[in-house]
Structure 1
């Protein structure tokens, strides 16, 4: 068996060939990783994200452009708000951390803000790990890490993640900070947006735990990653920052379990036909065949999380797969996996009458026919 370094190099080369030799890799961020963890059975998304394929460009080349993603206006507004929160060495950000999460500590009047610049994601990851070690050695002081770089193994391939900020408390605790541009009205924000932010932050917590596990400092407690993250948003309809502590223990546990279920990217890549390439510049027929060579697990939830959702939805509907109706419907139908099978079972043309699912479908069909018959007689 080849050594790990050789295997890793071979995998990176294989993924580069799948992406296209002249196509730059798209980094797998925490938002995409959280969406991937929410649908671990989708091999198509796993291999495309692992290979660094730009799924938005791929969807356009397939003729199913996606409207998924943030507008340029939202990105500009978000960047301006983040710059305001981090102004003056992150004074306002640290004040919010102290107020919401650590009131018993001394106020962060003179926090350390280390320089995290380095060459490439691997260099930035190493520099972040060093800064976290130095912060642990400086026990009793506040430290703010602005856009650190973290690494997390995803199905045998490293993903480099960049949280908005990480704060090291005087007691050695580490807190993830998420800065969002959606408003917090009267102390609360849109639950759906808060949930998405919590899932994203949970990915950062997992990556930070990997770093903390390798840091040991004499005469100081072991670093502890806080399971409460700080969500910073504009207050009401102003541009003033406010914050709320969000417990992400549930999201962290779910994400860790789902990531562990992901099929290794190497295993998926090895099953693809020779010459498979997802380069958007390829002819449409070749590109469609390449995408279809990887099985997908489509569900309506994909529409808000994946750029290929429209393409996969069309294919799922054409095949009559019941998952296109939703995961809850799929769970209720048991062994019946296609819409034609469900309709045949409901009409009494197929299926075992002793099967509870088949019996329920036939009962529902009888009630429907009875209701329609009663309505026609009126």
Structure 2
């Protein structure tokens, strides 16, 4: 077996071939990781994200452009709000962190803002780890890390993640800060948006926990710094541009995300199963590109429409195949071994399926009751 460094180099070369030799890699961010963890059975998304394929460009090349993603206006508004929150050395941000997360600590009259600049993502990850170690070893002071870079291993491949900020408390513990541009009205925000932010922050918490574990295993040793599971969510207050915040407990999201990420098939296994010469370069002819995408199995569900750029393409293929996953994961789970709409209808009308199967029995009973209501019982056998 080749050494890990050789295997890693071979995998990166293979992923570059899949992406296209002249195509720049798209970084895998926490939003994409959270969506990937929500659908761990989708090998198509796993290999495309692992290879750094821009799925929005790929979807357009396939003829199924996606409307997924933020508008330029939302991005500009979000960047302006984040700059306001972090103005004056992050004074307002640290005040909110003290108020919502750590009232027992001394107020942040002064804070440290370490320089996290370095060459390349690996250099920035190392510089972030060093800044976290130094801040944790300086009790009694607040430290604000602005856009640190963290590394998290996903399906055998590293993903580089950049949270909005990380606060190091005077006791040496770490907290993730998420800054969003959606409003917090009367102290509460849209639950769906808060849930999405919590899932994204949970990915950062997992990455920070890996950093803490590595610091504890380092030459200096010592206990691992504590990563807090209550994150600081900062949003505009009501209809103004003034920042307000709320503490959000992400323990549930962290546990679910960690479990789902461990279920992901390793990227090299998916890559090894692809035909030789497979490439997802959007510049390829549509027929060739479609064949390349279709050789990787997908697991489509309606949830993908709000989380994946390829959702429209996968939905069309799922509908064409008559897959019951098009109806949602709940329906798919209740139908057991019936994987297509054709199988479901045949089972309901008594022309296929094992009557002892609970799913088949339930379908036949439902079909009979429907026919009885429509006074067409002779067309459906009594279950």
Structure 2 length normalisation: TM-score?
A: 0.96
For residue 225 of structure 1, what is the aligned residue in structure 2? 227
Q: Could you say which residue in structure 2 is the equivalent of 1:157? A: 157
Q: Name the counterpart of 1:101.
A: 101
How far apart, in 2, do the equivalents of 1:127 and 1:79 lie?
24
Alignment partner, residue 5 of structure 1: 5
Q: Distance in 2 between matches of 1:355 and 1:130?
A: 59
Name the structure 2 match of 1:309: 311
Gaps of 5+ in 2: 377-383
C-alpha displacement of 1:200: 0.1
C-alpha separation in 2, matches of 1:275 and 1:199: 36
* Conserved? CA contact 2:215–2:221, under 8 Å: no
Task: State whether residues 15 and 50 of structure 1, in contact with CA within 8 Å, keep that contact through their aligned partners in structure 2.
Answer: yes
Secondary structure at 2:234 match in 1: strand
SS where residue 374 of structure 2 aligns? helix
**Does structure 2 retain, via aligned residues, the 8 Å contact 1:176–1:205?**
yes
Distance, in Å, in 1 between the alignment partners of 2:32 and 2:350 is 43
1: distance between equivalents of 2:285 and 2:224? 55
Spell out the pairing of 1:1-378 with structure 2 (5 A cutoff).
1-216=1-216, 222-373=224-375
- Output the CA distance in 2 between the equivalents of 1:245 and 1:97: 9
CA drift of 1:140 comes to 1.7
Q: Which moved more, 1:216-225 or 1:241-250?
A: 216-225
Aligned equivalents of 2:84 and 2:221: distance in 1? 37
- Write the deviation string for residues 327-356 of structure 1: whole angstroms up to 9, x where unpaired: 000011011010000000011100111211
Cα distance in structure 2, aligned partners of 1:132 and 1:205: 14
Deviation at residue 222 of structure 1 after TM alignment: 3.7
CA distance in 2, matches of 1:312, 1:121: 32
CA distance, structure 2, for counterparts of residue 302 and residue 213 of structure 1: 33
Conserved 8 A contact 1:60-1:66: yes
8 A contact 2:137–2:172 mirrored in 1: no
Between the aligned partners of 2:222 and 2:107, the Cα distance in structure 1 is 20
Q: Give the Cα separation in 2 of the matches to 1:349 and 1:220.
A: 67
Q: Is the 8 A contact 1:172 1:222 kept in 2?
A: no
SS in 1 for 2:248: strand
Q: Is the 8 A contact 1:139 1:220 kept in 2?
A: no
Q: CA deviation at 1:367?
A: 1.1
Specify the SS of the correspondent of 2:10: helix
Residue 373 of structure 1: how far off its partner (Å): 2.2
Query: 2-side partners of 1:6 and 1:110: how far apart?
Result: 47
Q: Deviations over 1:121-156 (max 9, x none)?
A: 111101100101111121221100000000000000
Question: What do the CA deviations read for 1:138-176 (whole angstroms, capped 9, x no partner)?
Answer: 122110000000000000000000000000000011000
In 2: Cα distance, 1:219 partner to 1:51 partner: 35
How far, CA to CA, are the matches of 2:45 and 2:202 in structure 1?
20
Distance 1:220-1:210 versus aligned 2 partners, 3 A rule: closer
Instruction: Provide the TM-score with structure 1 as the length reference.
Output: 0.97
Q: CA RMSD in A?
A: 1.3
Q: In structure 2, the residue corresponding to 1:349 is in which secondary structure?
A: coil
Stretches of structure 1 that go unaligned for 5 or more consecutive residues are none
2:214 partner SS: coil
Over 3 Å counting, the alpha-carbon distance change for 1:116 and 1:332 in structure 2 is same
For residue 214 of structure 1, report the CA deviation from its aligned partner.
1.9
